[in-house]
Amino acid sequence: MELKDIQSVVVWRLIFKHLMNNSPKSLSNFSITCKSIRQKINVIYNWKEIALKNLPEAVNIANILGINVDKEPEHSLKWASMYQYYRFIYPASKFGHIVHMNTQYLQSLESSKLDAILPFSHIVHLNFVWWFEVGELIKDIPVNNYKVYWLLRNDGLVKTLQSEVEIEGSSEPITQNMVVERSPMEWKYFRGPDISPDQDIYPRGSLFSLFCRLHERDCARTKGNLDIAYVLLVPSDDDHHKPPKILFKHPNHDDDKNNNDNNNNNNTDSPSLMTRLFKYFQ
| Per-residue confidence band for 127, with pLDDT thresholds at 50, 70 and 90 | confident
- List domains and CATH numbers for the chain: 3-87 (no CATH), 89-235 (2.60.120.260)
Query: Per-residue pLDDT for 255 more than 50?
Result: no
Q: What is the pLDDT of residues 154-198, one digit of tens each?
A: 887 778 888 999 998 787 889 888 888 887 778 999 999 999 898
- Helix boundaries (H) for the chain: 3-22, 24-30, 35-44, 47-54, 58-65, 77-86, 253-263, 273-279
Query: Per-residue pLDDT for 269 more than 50?
Result: no
Mind giving me the DSSP string for 220-255? Answer: SS-B--EEEEEEEEEE--TT--SPPPPS-B-TTHHH
Q: With contact defined as beta carbons under 8 Å apart, do 144 and 236 qualify?
A: yes
With a pLDDT cut of 70, the percent of the chain lying above it is: 72
For residues 136-151, average pLDDT: 91
pTM above 0.95, yes or no: no
Q: What is the pLDDT of residues 14-55, one digit of tens each?
A: 666 656 665 665 666 666 667 777 777 777 778 898 899 989
